[in-house]
Structure formats: structure tokens, C-alpha cells
Structure 1
Amino acid sequence: MVGTQQWNSVATQLIKAFAADGNEPVQMKLYKSLRLWAFYVDLEEGLGTLESTRAVYERILDLKIATPQVIINYALLLEENKYFEDAFKVYERGVKIFKYPHVKDIWVTYLTKFVKRYGKTKLERARELFQHAVETTPAENLKVLYLQYAKLEEDYGLAKRAMKVYDQAAKTVPDNEKMSMYEIYIARAAEIFGVPKTREIYEQAIESGLPDKDVKVMCMKYAELEKSLGEIDRARAIYNFSSQYADPRSDADFWTKWHDFEVQHGNEDTFREMLRMKRSVSASYSQTHFILPEYLMQKDQKLNLEETVDTLKRAGVPEDEMAALERQFAPESNNTASKDGSRKLGDGEDDDKIEIAHKDVPAAVFGDLANKVEENNKDGDEETDSKLGALERIKRQRQG
């Protein structure tokens, strides 16, 4: 009785504290206050009975102000008092009320508690729950549920069903999680069915559309597997296939491993084939990216110049000095182009000293016209000679 009286006193003080001015009843303003209801639940759990506490939780659910944490707290309260089925019903209500991403914690807790409680006694029901969970979950949140599902099948179900779950997970999860999912799938398959079972999984992973870097890593692991089983030709074929994803300039590790593999298990012909593939792949990458280094160099140089100019501006350097600095650090190609483009004929002081070579046009270009010109020139020379004096004619004859 004393605890109930204290609770009534505290509740009355809270209602008065939250009351607002006006004629509207306080209950109309506060009946959906989650903070007040959460305090009410805490008081009932500490001072009331299980039935009164359940009544408060049910009222919160009816008012639709519950949060995922309220659902989990309610279910844990029932579980502590051995009301397991009632707790699972609360989880069911929670997954119907909330959507992703808020329902993720409810699903994980629900499935974990259910499997822990019933194990293999209600295996079909657990499978239905997991199947319903993965069907309603976005791809980015599927990995955790699939791993729980596969663990259920490994512990209480069939190994083949577990492999099907792993296979479905590897095909469904996003691309950035496929690699890790395939690694788990391969590890579990090797442990349950043996190493040879993983061959088809490796081939499926390589053909599943993984990024190039992940395909290369998967191929290298596959080649190591075949080498450990003594399948040297299969391992060499895998190295040959995966070489298209390895640039010799940036991926020396792959080519070193292939080199060591040929030294240990190959012969002169296979080693030469490896070198030929290396040259071919290097040439293909060079043709594809031959513009890239120069472009990146110019881009970085431009960024550094802009950063320098901004720093000088903040330091208060005059614009004339900054312009001179820009000309000094500008790319050489730009300076050369500007010099050549700014040069004009007739502006230089040394234009008079420039010697221009002359070359006569061949007479064949003019045809008969050239012959007539020569005849006219001869006639003109004779007339000129007749007009000259005797002394001048003698000088010309001596020079001729």
C-alpha cells in the first residue's frame, strides 16, 4: 500500500508538471507522451505486478507509440516470467508494426530466442520464420539472417539444406558482400563435404559477376586448391585465365606466384607461355591506359598551382606577384604555346637579318609560255646591247 501511494503521488506531480495552460484537459495533451508512458512502465515493473505491467505495455501498443526497444523489453519481461509463447507473440506483433531498418533488431532477437528455446523440436516452424524473414528483408541486411539460418540447418537440420542456404545467400547479398559470403560458403563446404566439393563453388563465384579484383583473388585461391590436389594442368589453366585481371605493372604478386609455380611444376615451354602471356597482358593494359599517367600529372600540377595561389591570396600577396608566380610554375607546354602564339611577323627587331632562300620554278611548269619569255628576253638583251657604248660592250664580253 505504501508503494502504491508513493506511485500515485509521483504520477500526480508528473501530470501537473507536464500540464499546459488552457482549458483543454491534460490527458488530451499527454496521453501519447512516450516518455511519460516509459516512466509509467518502469514504476509498474518496480512496484506493481506482472499483470499491471502487461496492461501498461498493451496500452502503449494500442496507442501505436511503441518503439523497437519497447517491443524487446516487453518480450524479455514475459520470457523472464516463463511466458515464452506470449513473448514470441509480442515479437510477431513487432515485426508487423515496424519496417526496415527499425525491425532488424526485433527479427534477430526473435529468431535467436526461438532457436534457443525450441531447437530441433520445432524445426519446421523455425524454417518458416527464417524464410519469412529473408523474404521481407532488404538485400543489404540479409547476410546476418542467412548466417543464422544456415547455422540452424547445420546444428539441427540437414547439411544439404545448409549448403542451399549458403548458396542462396551468396547469390542474394549485395556485390560488396559477395566475396566474404563465398569465402564462408567455401570454408563450410570444405569442412562438411571435403575439399573437392569446393570446386563447383569456386567456379560459381568466378562466374557470378564479382569485381575484377575479387575474381583474381578467387582464382588464385582456386589455383592453390588444385595445386594442393596435384592437378597441375588445372592450376595452370586457372592462372592463364586470371592473368587478364592482373596488370604486371601494379600486380607483381600474382605474376610472382605464377612464376614460382612454373619454376616448380612447369617446363621450358610452359615458362615461355607464361612470359608470353605477361607481355600480352602488359601490352593490352598499356594500350588501354596510355593517356592516364600524363593526364594525372597535369591534373595534380594544376591542383598544386591552385592551392598555392589560394594560400598566397590568404597571405595578402599582391596580384602582380601571384601572376608572375603562375607564369613561373605553369606547364612548359603552355609556356611554349604562348610564346609561339604571341609572336608576330614584323614585330621583331631582327627581321631584316632573316635570310629567305629562293628557288626558281622549273620551266616545264610553264610549257610553251616559258619559250616565248626566253625569246623576248633575248630580243631585249640585244636591244639593250645596241644601246650600250663600246666600252661597256667590251666589259660584258670579258665577263661572259
Structure 2
Amino acid sequence: MSVWEIEQLVPEMAVPFEEAIAKAPLDLSLWIKYFQAMASSSMEIKIFILNRAVTQFPRCYKFWIVYIDLLIEENIAPSCVIDVFKQSLQLLDSAPILWVKYLTYLVHHQKHQITHIRRTFNDALYHLPITQHHMIWPLYISLADEIGGKFGAITYMKYYQYSTEFELKGGGSITIDMIIQKLFEFGDIENGSNLIQSVTSNINEYLTLPKSPVELWEEFIDLLIDSKKKTVNQDFDNFVEKLVQQGIQKYPDQIGKLYSKLIFYYINRKNFDQVRFHSYKGLQECKTLKDFTLLFDIYTEFEQSLVIKLEEQLDSNPSDTLSKKFEYRIALLEKFIDDRELMINDMKLRQDPNNLDEWLIRVDLFNDTKQKLSAYVKALTTVNPLKAISLSNSATFADLWIKYANVYTSSNDFKTGALIFSKAVKSQFKTPDELAQIYISWSEILLEDGKESESVTTVEDILFSNDSDINYMDTSLTVQLRIHKSVKLWLFYLDLLESLIDEDQDNSKTIDKIMKAYEQMIMLKIVTPRILLNYALFLQEQKYWEKSFSVYELSLRLFSDDKVRFEIWNTYLTRIISYRNNTKSIPVERIRDLFDQCFSQGLPANLNKPICILYSQFEEDQGSIMKSIKVIEDWLLSMTEFNQGSIKGDQNFNISIKLEMYQLLISKLALIQDDTRSRDLYTKMLNDKQFKLAQLITVTLDFVKFEISRNQFNRVRSLFKFITKLGNPEMESIKNVWNQWEKFELEYGNELTFKEMLRYKRVIVKDFENDVVIKESINPMGFVKSKNAITPTENAENPDAIDLDMDM
């Protein structure tokens, strides 16, 4: 700019201000008024005024700001503007607004002078109090992002050093993870790695960050994997591995993802030995099928890619070395794929080493006998017997021992099999029944080996070794202390002894052992009704009839359940009658006393129907038909009383039984041709209030057949009249009755009786129609009735009083 003339700088309108300022040069307000008055003047005049103002008031930052803004607005040479900035900051180095303006100006006008700009930013941070640094950092960081490289890394590290923990942990706009990302982006791997180590060592202190700890961990590993560090450095590799391993320990549910990242890291590094090492290690440590599949697929694809490359090299440059290497890698890949099921089994056993199903699956995966045996040994030494589980409920810990021994016995090595069982019985089990299964299998292989005596002794010794009355369900006691009360083992022992009975030899010792076993079970209080019934049957087979009868009586004393007692009585009475029929050695009165005792002990009438029939048949077989009839009559009386106390659902079933017994009684009366008693019984049945309409129709039609056979046709018509008025003529069952009546009249009646039947039917139909109309007219609820008449159901109850008008 040319030298300004004073006349140009102080126009006529500025003279009064100049004179006033000459008199009061320190009047700040006068200077402000002077500048405002000359606001529309030339640039030179405004600069002239502001230059003198900042000289007069060197610490008035407002004049400096206006002065600098004017210079920038008028595009004054950058060197001049920078000089003014420097002058102002020499006097006002603690004014953040001046620093911001200065730094902004440098960034826009001297970006190529990076060193100068960086030093200026550092000067600003040095001179300003830390509470005002937040005004500088956004511009500094923005410049770092734009320039990047070493400058960017240094800037972010400086920001990390100046920032507070609160800001780095989520309280500021730039958090620690963002700084780490930028450091890796700008190539400062060393500082970035150091910060990663610092954060991961105290990961729980960074919970306030927007990302979860596991997300941070995975992000850091990705940064390391994707870093542009070209030189393979063992320390760096160790750092990556350490970070992955720490992540796996801290977040075991992410084991598949973390191992996959480490594998890809070494793939990028082309360190294939480490790829294989960590792939196998990951597969051996993962505990979910998802993680296993992820790692298995990654490694398979890796090996396939190497095989493809080898194949391409072999095609372009054949050689024996490449060919052997190719075949070797193919063989390894095939074996790896073939071992997939075994590795999955390994993974599932890591999930739960007490999973019996998986151990048995593992054994089946091997074809080699040595491998199977090794798998059994590992299973038996790994599984906790008290924690063993089978999700399919198809296996127990005892099965492992048994199947282990069977590997030897299947090859006729019974000695080794017996040795394994001798060790197995000393193991702990969840229940005594598991231990019982061990003894059973042990005994069976001894029997298969031809050692019958030793087979029996093996079980016998353990069953008779303890007579103490312990609680079989007391889990505080070992199974070895409770095994002598195992019903399962006792039943096997009995079956074993019975299988040794030979009709051509003296079996007295074996029979004594069987009887002793049953008596021991009774003494131990572990017998069931079925066991005692089997005991009685065995005694009968050995011709110990009276002793078998005492077993039945013992059973009746031991068990109180009605259904159980019925089964015992039914078997007892059937057997003793059969014995009497064959030997005639038991008095009739003894059997009658047993029947009376059975009925007197309060068995429900619906249960003892078979016993009643048995008693009745017994009396009939003795020629006492009247006593046979009396037995059924007494039962029917008890059944009536029983039904009155039954719930409705049971009554329907019981009434059906009652009808069957009535019909049986009718058949017996027919044997003695007592028509009078038969008619009385039919009449009694028709007046039985417990019968429903369906039963009444059945009884009536049977009664009709009875009277027809006696040519009592008037009585037949009275029966038809009686039953047809009990139900709606439209019901199927009643229609059938009318049809039966019509057939009767056609066969036995005449024109008059047929017309009388039709007239009676019209009356009945009209009565039911009127009954429906009446019911609809007096409906108190006002419901709209269906056009179809409401009819009684097939099970409608018999009215309290039935007028059976029989023409005698």
C-alpha cells in the first residue's frame, strides 16, 4: 500500500473527533464513537483509526478483534495480518477468541506450513488455562483428521494426554476408542497398541462408553488385524495373541468369534503354522455348535484354498515334491473332515463331561477296539457318577461299565469282563438299581461262561450280606449299603434260580433257596402283591398248596388297597377251588368261609363281581342252585347300596354291571323253571330307580321274550304300553320298541289288537306334543324354543314310581 497522506486519513468530518481525542486520548468511548462515525469511510481511514486505537489501548481485545476482522475482510496480505495477530497475542496471550481466530486463519491461509501451525496450536494450549482448551481442540482435531499421518497421530496423542478421564470414558465428544481408531488409521500402531493394552487391562472402568466391553475388545482386535504394520514382529504377534486369549477368558461366550479373528490375523500374516495351531486350539476349546461350525468352516476353507493353489502350481510346474506335498495336504484335509463328528462330540463333552449319551456316541465313532476301550476308560474316569445324566433317559452310569466289560466278553474274554465288574461294584451310583444292574450283568456273563454256581453266588452273597432294616431311599447311605433291598436284584436272583431247575434232577436245594429268597424279601418288607402272587404260584408248582394258601392270606394282611385285595382274593379263591376240584381234599365249608370272609371285608361291590360269579358257580357245581341264586341276590342288594354312594360317572359303569348280574340271575332261575320268581325279578328290575331308560328298554324286551315263550300275550302288550310311554316316540330306541310291538302284533295278534296298538301310539304321540307346547307356554325365562321338540335322552332316569299295569 502506498504511503497514506494525512489529509486523506483525516477528512473534514473527522477533525472534531481528532481534536477531542487530542484533549482526552484515554477516553475509550470517544474512540468507539469516532470509529462508528467513520464506519462508511474508506478502508485506509478505518485502519488508521484502529491502528492508533490498539496502540492507545493495547489490552483492549475488542479493538484488536475489530482491527483483525477488518484486515481479513479487506484481504490484506497474510503476512500483515499474521503480524497483527502476533502483536495482539504478545499483549493478550490469554484471550482464547484471538487464538481461535489466529489458528483458524493459519489453517485456511498457511496450511502448507504444518510445523508452524502445530507450534502455534501448542502455544495456544500453553498460554490458555486448561479450562479454555475445549475452544482450541475442535479446530486442532479437525486439522489432524484432514492432514492425518504423523501429524494426526501426534495430535490425537496430545489430546489423549490433555483430556480428562471423564471425557475419555464417554463424557466428551472424543472417547478413548475413537483415539485408538485414529492412531491406527494414521499408522501409529505402537501408541495405539499401548492404549489398547491400557483399556483392556481395566475394561470395567470404561462401562460408560457407548460400546459394550466385548464390542470394544472385538473392535481393538480388528484394528490390530487390519493394521498396516508390514513387518512381521514376534512381539506384535504375541500382543495380538495375548489380547485374544484375555478376551476368551473374560468373554467365553465369544470364543468362536475371537479365535476366528486370530486365525484371520495369521492368514493375513501368511503364518500358516499359526493358523493351523490356533484353528485346532479353538476347535478344542469351543463349547457351542455355533462356534465349532464357524471355526471348522474357516479352517476348511483355508486348507482348501492352499490345496487349490498347490494344484495350480502342480499344473503349471509339475514336480515330485509338489505332488507329494499336494497329496499330503489332501490327506490331511480329508482326515480333518472325517473327524468332524468326533470333534463335535469333544465339544459336547466339554459342555457337560457327565453326559452319558455323548460318551456312548463317542465309543460308537471308533471302529478300532483299542480306541473303544480307551474311550470307555476316559469316560469312566471323567464322569461323576452322582452327576451323570442322560438327556434321552436311555443310559445310566452302570451302562458304561457294562458296555466296557462287554467289549471283552464279546470276544469270549470272560475273565477280563468279570474283573471289570469286580471293580465296577465298588464305584458309586445314583441309585441301588444301577448297582443291581452291574451285579445282574456280572452274573449273566458268568452264566454264559458256564460258571452257574459262581453266577448264583455273586448275587446271593450281596443279597444276604445285610439284614438291617435301612431306608432304601436314604441317599446319605452308599448304594452298597442299600443294594440288599433292591427288588430288581432279588427278582433277577429268583429268575436265575428258577432257570436252574431241572425236572430230571434233584432240585430240593434250589427250591429251598427260592423259598428262602421269598421269605427274606418278606422280612425286608420289599415284597409287592405281584411278587407274593408269584411266590404262591411257585409253591403250587412245587405242590406246596397249603403253604401257597398261607402266602395269599399273608398278602391280604399286608395290603389294604381294594383293587390289590380283589386281585389277591380272586387268585386265591380260583386256585383253592381248582385244587379242591382236583383233589377233593378241602372241605366245601372252608371255601364257603373264604367267600364269606372276602365279602365281609368290605370290597366294593363293583370290584367283587367276578368273585360273586365264582362263588355262585361254585355253589352250582356243588348242586346247590338255590345257594347259587342267593349269592347273586345278596350281591345285587350290596350293589344297590354301593351305587347310592357312588359319584355319577361311576354309577353308569356300575349300573351296567348290575344289569349283567340281573341277567345272570334270570338265567339261573330259568334252570329251576321258577316263572313266578322270574316275573318278580323282571318286575323288580323295571322298578329299579337306578336304571336309565336304555337299561329299562333292554329289560323290557327280555321280559317280552320271556312272556311270549309262555304265551302270555296280554302281559306282552302291557309291557309294550309301559315302556313306550317313557320316551319320545321320535327317539331311535323307542322307535325300535314300536317296531318290535308291530312285529309282535303281526305274528300273534289280529286286526283289532293291531288297530288298538296304532290308537295307543297316536295318543302317546299327541301327549308328547302337548307336553312340549305346555312347557313352551310356561317358560319363565322367555327363551325362544326350537321348532323341534325337546326330547329326553337315552339315559333319562326312570321315574320314581312306575305304574306297571299288567293284565294277569
TM interval, shorter chain, is 0.5 to 0.7
Q: Any residues of structure 2 matched to 1:269-308 within 5 Å, and which?
A: 270-286=753-769, 287-288=771-772, 291=785
**2:536/2:551 contact within 8 Å kept:** yes
| Equivalent of 2:490 in 27, 33, 37 | 37
Cα distance 1:7–1:256, how it changes in 2: closer, same or farther (>3 A)? closer
CA distance, structure 1, for counterparts of residue 744 and residue 685 of structure 2: 23
**1:371 counterpart residue number:** none
**2:494/2:517 contact within 8 Å kept:** yes
Q: Deviations over 1:47-73 (max 9, x none)?
A: 552222211111111222211211111
**2:715 counterpart residue number:** 234
Q: Any residues of structure 2 matched to 1:120-269 within 5 Å, and which?
A: 121-135=586-600, 136-173=602-639, 174-193=654-673, 197-209=677-689, 210-250=691-731, 251-266=734-749
Q: Deviations over 1:76-96 (max 9, x none)?
A: 111122111000000111122
Q: Deviations over 1:309-359 (max 9, x none)?
A: xxxxxxxxxxxxxxxxxxxxxxxxxxxxxxxxxxxxxxxxxxxxxxxxxxx
Cα distance 1:293–1:130, how it changes in 2: closer, same or farther (>3 A)? farther
CA distance, structure 2, for counterparts of residue 293 and residue 52 of structure 1: 79
Cα distance 1:134–1:23, how it changes in 2: closer, same or farther (>3 A)? closer
Give the Å deviation of 1:264: 4.4
Cα distance 1:85–1:10, how it changes in 2: closer, same or farther (>3 A)? closer
CA distance, structure 2, for counterparts of residue 236 and residue 294 of structure 1: 30
**2:566/2:608 contact within 8 Å kept:** no
Q: Which amino acid aligns with 2:658?
A: K
Give the Å deviation of 1:14: 9.6
CA distance, structure 2, for counterparts of residue 29 and residue 233 of structure 1: 77
Q: Which amino acid aligns with 2:543?
A: K
CA distance, structure 2, for counterparts of residue 53 and residue 112 of structure 1: 24
Cα distance 1:33–1:222, how it changes in 2: closer, same or farther (>3 A)? same
Give the Å deviation of 1:110: 0.7
| Equivalent of 1:104 in 557, 566, 591 | 566
Q: Any residues of structure 2 matched to 1:57-68 within 5 Å, and which?
A: 57-68=518-529
Give the TM-score, by structure 1 length. 0.64
CA distance, structure 2, for counterparts of residue 23 and residue 194 of structure 1: 71
**1:190/1:196 contact within 8 Å kept:** no
Cα distance 1:10–1:97, how it changes in 2: closer, same or farther (>3 A)? closer
Give the secondary-structure state (helix, strand or coil) at the position aligned to 2:662: helix
Give the Å deviation of 1:188: 2.3
Cα distance 1:127–1:12, how it changes in 2: closer, same or farther (>3 A)? closer
CA distance, structure 1, for counterparts of residue 455 and residue 746 of structure 2: 86
Cα distance 1:133–1:292, how it changes in 2: closer, same or farther (>3 A)? farther
**2:463/2:490 contact within 8 Å kept:** no
**1:246/1:254 contact within 8 Å kept:** no
Q: Any residues of structure 2 matched to 1:303-314 within 5 Å, and which?
A: none
Cα distance 1:26–1:203, how it changes in 2: closer, same or farther (>3 A)? same
CA distance, structure 2, for counterparts of residue 13 and residue 71 of structure 1: 22
Which has a greater percent of helix? 1
Report the more deviating stretch, 114-123 or 194-203: 194-203
Give the Å deviation of 1:37: 1.8
Cα distance 1:61–1:14, how it changes in 2: closer, same or farther (>3 A)? closer
Cα distance 1:223–1:294, how it changes in 2: closer, same or farther (>3 A)? closer
Cα distance 1:166–1:13, how it changes in 2: closer, same or farther (>3 A)? closer
Give the secondary-structure state (helix, strand or coil) at the position aligned to 1:30: helix
Give the TM-score, by structure 2 length. 0.33
Give the Å deviation of 1:194: 5.5
Give the Å deviation of 1:257: 2.2
Matched, 1:117 2:598: no
Matched, 1:52 2:532: no
Matched, 1:8 2:457: yes
Q: Which amino acid aligns with 2:618?
A: L
**1:384 counterpart residue number:** none
CA distance, structure 1, for counterparts of residue 632 and residue 752 of structure 2: 41
Give the Å deviation of 1:221: 1.9
**2:704/2:719 contact within 8 Å kept:** yes
Q: Which amino acid aligns with 1:204?
A: K
Give the Å deviation of 1:192: 3.6
Q: Any residues of structure 2 matched to 1:66-81 within 5 Å, and which?
A: 66-81=527-542
Q: Which amino acid aligns with 2:562?
A: Y
CA RMSD of aligned residues (A): 3.2
CA distance, structure 2, for counterparts of residue 292 and residue 110 of structure 1: 59
**2:543 counterpart residue number:** 82
Q: Any residues of structure 2 matched to 1:279-358 within 5 Å, and which?
A: 279-286=762-769, 287-288=771-772, 291=785
**2:707/2:716 contact within 8 Å kept:** yes
Cα distance 1:11–1:260, how it changes in 2: closer, same or farther (>3 A)? closer
**2:191 counterpart residue number:** none
Give the Å deviation of 1:197: 4.6
Cα distance 1:7–1:260, how it changes in 2: closer, same or farther (>3 A)? closer
CA distance, structure 1, for counterparts of residue 663 and residue 613 of structure 2: 13
Give the Å deviation of 1:155: 0.3
Give the secondary-structure state (helix, strand or coil) at the position aligned to 2:564: coil
Q: Deviations over 1:177-212 (max 9, x none)?
A: 122222222122213435565222211211223211
Q: Deviations over 1:191-242 (max 9, x none)?
A: 3435565222211211223211211221122122212212222222222222
CA distance, structure 2, for counterparts of residue 212 and residue 23 of structure 1: 62
Give the Å deviation of 1:111: 0.6
- Tell me which of the two structures has the higher relative contact order, counting C-alpha pairs closer than 8 angstroms and 6 or more residues apart: 1
CA distance, structure 2, for counterparts of residue 58 and residue 89 of structure 1: 12
Q: Which amino acid aligns with 2:454?
A: Q
CA distance, structure 1, for counterparts of residue 700 and residue 598 of structure 2: 33
Q: Deviations over 1:343-380 (max 9, x none)?
A: xxxxxxxxxxxxxxxxxxxxxxxxxxxxxxxxxxxxxx
Q: Which amino acid aligns with 2:563?
A: P
Q: Which amino acid aligns with 1:279?
A: R
Cα distance 1:23–1:115, how it changes in 2: closer, same or farther (>3 A)? closer
**2:540/2:548 contact within 8 Å kept:** yes
CA distance, structure 2, for counterparts of residue 266 and residue 167 of structure 1: 36
Give the secondary-structure state (helix, strand or coil) at the position aligned to 1:102: helix
Cα distance 1:268–1:75, how it changes in 2: closer, same or farther (>3 A)? same
Structure 1 unaligned segments of length 5 or more: list them. Answer: 297-400
Cα distance 1:5–1:274, how it changes in 2: closer, same or farther (>3 A)? same
